[in-house]
């Protein structure tokens, strides 16, 4: 892998841009790997990267049924924050934020991490109490979060409407200044390039069709559309399709898959300086570096694998945004799309060993997995390498649903997760 | 938006309905005899199939009644709707 640098830019500029390499290799599958990661999204690629980088395990393949960056990694609204209520969640999301801060350097790839601030709005007494509780809980965990009055919200984000006559007036907000956004495609590409350079084989257009287990029940490998691939360990990081993949190994999970939508406006000049979220009226919005307003809508009511949501879900969010930011009423929407998210009953992920020896699962990120990408990959790589969870992901087991030790972010994070 | 056929009222837009999750999960007849594993299975573990899914809907802004539907989770096409207590089409007898 040739390093990206200002010098490389200059050299290519003088030589007709002819020397750029493909960013990752596209090898034929080997018959056997030490570790096979199922799913070439951000979390899977990050897992492969940290296996190679931090644990010296380079005999790794990432199998992806489509193309890199074509799933939820390329479909989310790119919001990064760590202002979660419970200690377990705060630890894992904050671990991720700390990795985000130096990710571009670590990968030698500009992931365009932009800590522009995430402002969560309160519209009623319950919101105020809940968000203030988050502020205090976060600060006890060493995570920045502060309470803003409506006027301070307006000063931080001038396009906001703080008129008290609104149907749901803005009564204040919780601001995490270190929160922000990153370029989602670049995250997938950067991890793929850095992992490939460290020896990881990235196998695109390679769909897993079965999981082979030996007489003892332990993992032997995966059947794929490009043939059988043997493996000592298999890590499943398949987001919305986790239930389908894990069924192949006979493991049942507490997951349901829902379509989650996002949409973008036509690109406009810089007009929106931060990320604004509202759980109560369900809106979240930020502006991409291309100039589009990136808007997250909610999940549909019903489980589905269709990668398509209903129009009334998106219009519901647009109603809220038009009231919060009246200047956007004349914006035209350019595109909308859906992704399939795997949701657990407590809205917290599962990163754990499974009852099958050699099989590991990283799933259940629901509607908010992008922000966790580096942290999730790091602790999941640890779990696979050491066959034991890292202290940060130790609480995120499958068994917590049997033991009743839920990490209940469903009430804490409401819908906008 | 789905067009859903309520077994009592006929076809109505999805907005008139609320979703009730996977169908045919029987509430334990004798809850005190369940162990933790069985409780977890009842409360949290779901089939989540890619394909035909039996699910509950309630016509909340209509007749208010609960019924079941079979829907293909890949195309979202509703294959059949049937009254609560009935077996899915293709099976006979009664069902939770």
- Let me know: does A280 contact A123? Beta carbons within 8 Å: yes
Give a yes or no: residue A1 inside a domain. Answer: no
pLDDT reading at A242 higher than 60:
yes
Residues of A in contact with B53 (CB under 8 A): 303
Residues of A in contact with B39 (CB under 8 A): 402
Tell whether A305 lies on the interface with B, counting CB pairs under 8 A.
yes
Query: What topology does CATH give the domain B1-25+47-89?
Result: Folate-binding fold (3.30.2270)
CB-side neighbour CA atoms (13 Å) of A184: 22
Tell me the pLDDT tens digit for each residue of A355-407: 999 999 999 999 999 999 999 999 999 999 999 999 999 999 999 999 999 99
CATH number at residue A312: 3.30.9.10
Q: Helices (DSSP H) in chain B: which residue ranges?
A: 36-43
Tell me the pLDDT tens digit for each residue of B39-90: 999 999 999 999 999 999 999 999 999 999 999 999 999 999 999 999 888 7
Q: Are strands A79-80 and A275-278 parallel, antiparallel or unpaired?
A: unpaired
CB-side neighbour CA atoms (13 Å) of A233: 24
> How many domains in chain A?
2
Instruction: Write down the ipTM of this complex.
Output: 0.93
Q: How far is CA A188 from CA A285, A288, A415, in A?
A: 22, 17, 26
Nearest to A159 by CA among A297, A315, A269: A269
Q: And the tokens for A399?
A: 């068994």
Same domain, A152 and A298: yes
User: pLDDT value at position A414?
Assistant: 45
Same domain, A267 and A374: no
> What backbone torsions phi and psi does residue A50 show, to the nearest 5 degrees?
-75, -30
Tell me the pLDDT tens digit for each residue of A271-280: 999 999 998 9
pLDDT reading at A88 higher than 80:
yes
Closest residue in A to B40 (Cα) is A402
Cα B54 to the center of its chain, rounded Å? 5
Give a yes or no: residue A108 inside a domain. Answer: no
- Let me know: does B17 contact B8? Beta carbons within 8 Å: no
What is the rounded CA–CA span in Å between residue A69 and residue A184?
8
User: CB A254 to CB B40 under 8 A?
Assistant: yes
Same domain, A289 and A223: no
Same domain, A19 and A168: no
User: pLDDT value at position B94?
Assistant: 57
What is the rounded CA–CA span in Å between residue B71 and residue B12?
16
Tell whether A156 lies on the interface with B, counting CB pairs under 8 A.
no
CATH number at residue A360: 3.50.50.60
Query: The whole model's pTM is what?
Result: 0.95
pLDDT reading at A2 higher than 70:
yes
Tell me the pLDDT tens digit for each residue of B10-28: 999 999 999 999 999 999 9
Q: Helices (DSSP H) in A38-124: which residue ranges?
A: 42-55, 87-101, 103-107
Of A243, A312, A402, nearest to B40 by CB-CB distance is A402
Interface with chain B: mutation pick from A207, A242, A304, A342, highest number of B CBs within 10 Å:
A304
Residues of B in contact with A400 (CB under 8 A): none
C-beta neighbour count of A82 within 10 angstroms: 27
- Let me know: does A244 contact A253? Beta carbons within 8 Å: no
Which residue range is the domain that position A231 belongs to? 6-77+184-253+346-413
What is the rounded CA–CA span in Å between residue A345 and residue A256?
9
């Amino acid at each position: 892998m040739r390093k990206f640098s200002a010098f490389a830019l200059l050299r290519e500029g003088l030589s007709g841009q002819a020397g750029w390499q493909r960013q990752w290799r596209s090898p034929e599958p080997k018959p056997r790997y030490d570790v096979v990661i199922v799913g070439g999204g951000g979390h899977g690629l990050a897992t492969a990267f940290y296996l190679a980088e931090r644990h010296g395990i380079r005999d790794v393949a990432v199998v992806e049924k489509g193309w890199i960056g074509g799933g939820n990694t390329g479909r989310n609204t790119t919001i990064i924050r760590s202002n979660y209520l419970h200690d377990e969640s705060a630890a894992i999301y904050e671990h991720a934020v700390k990795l985000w801060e130096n990710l571009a350097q670590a990968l030698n790839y500009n992931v365009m991490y932009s800590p522009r601030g995430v402002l969560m709005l309160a519209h009623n007494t319950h919101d105020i109490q809940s968000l203030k509780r988050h502020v205090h809980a976060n600060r006890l965990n060493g995570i920045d979060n502060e309470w803003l009055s409506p006027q301070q919200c307006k000063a931080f984000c001038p396009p906001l409407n703080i008129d008290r006559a609104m149907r749901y007036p803005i009564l204040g907000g919780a601001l995490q200044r270190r929160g922000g956004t990153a370029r989602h495609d670049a995250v997938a590409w950067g991890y793929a390039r850095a992992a490939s350079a460290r020896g990881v084989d990235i196998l695109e257009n390679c769909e897993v069709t079965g999981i082979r287990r030996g007489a003892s029940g332990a993992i032997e490998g995966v059947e794929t559309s490009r043939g059988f691939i043997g493996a000592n360990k298999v890590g499943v990081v398949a987001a919305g399709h986790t239930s389908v993949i894990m069924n192949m190994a006979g493991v049942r999970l507490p997951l349901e898959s829902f379509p989650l939508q996002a949409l973008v406006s036509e690109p406009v000049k810089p007009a929106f300086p931060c990320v604004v979220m509202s759980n109560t009226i369900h809106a979240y919005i930020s502006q991409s570096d291309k100039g589009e307003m990136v808007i997250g809508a909610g999940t549909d009511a019903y489980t589905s694998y269709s990668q398509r949501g209903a129009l009334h879900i998106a219009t519901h969010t647009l109603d809220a945004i038009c009231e919060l930011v009246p200047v956007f009423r004349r914006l035209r929407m350019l595109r909308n799309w859906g992704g399939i998210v795997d949701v657990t009953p407590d809205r917290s992920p599962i990163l754990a060993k499974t009852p099958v020896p050699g099989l590991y699962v990283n799933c259940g990120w629901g509607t908010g997995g992008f922000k966790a990408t580096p942290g999730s990959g790091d602790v999941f790589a640890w779990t696979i390498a050491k066959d034991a969870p890292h202290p940060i992901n130790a609480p995120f087991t499958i068994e917590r649903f049997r033991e009743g030790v839920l990490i209940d972010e469903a009430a804490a994070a409401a819908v906008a997760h | 938006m789905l067009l859903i056929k309520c077994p009592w009222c006929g076809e109505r837009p999805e907005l008139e309905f609320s979703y009730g999750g996977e169908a045919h999960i029987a509430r334990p007849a004798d809850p005190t005899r369940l162990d933790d594993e069985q409780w977890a299975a009842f409360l949290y573990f779901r089939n989540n199939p890619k394909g035909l899914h039996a699910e509950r809907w309630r016509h909340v802004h209509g007749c208010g009644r609960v019924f079941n539907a079979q829907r293909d989770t890949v195309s979202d096409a509703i294959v059949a709707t049937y009254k609560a207590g009935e077996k899915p089409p293709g099976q006979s007898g009664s069902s939770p």
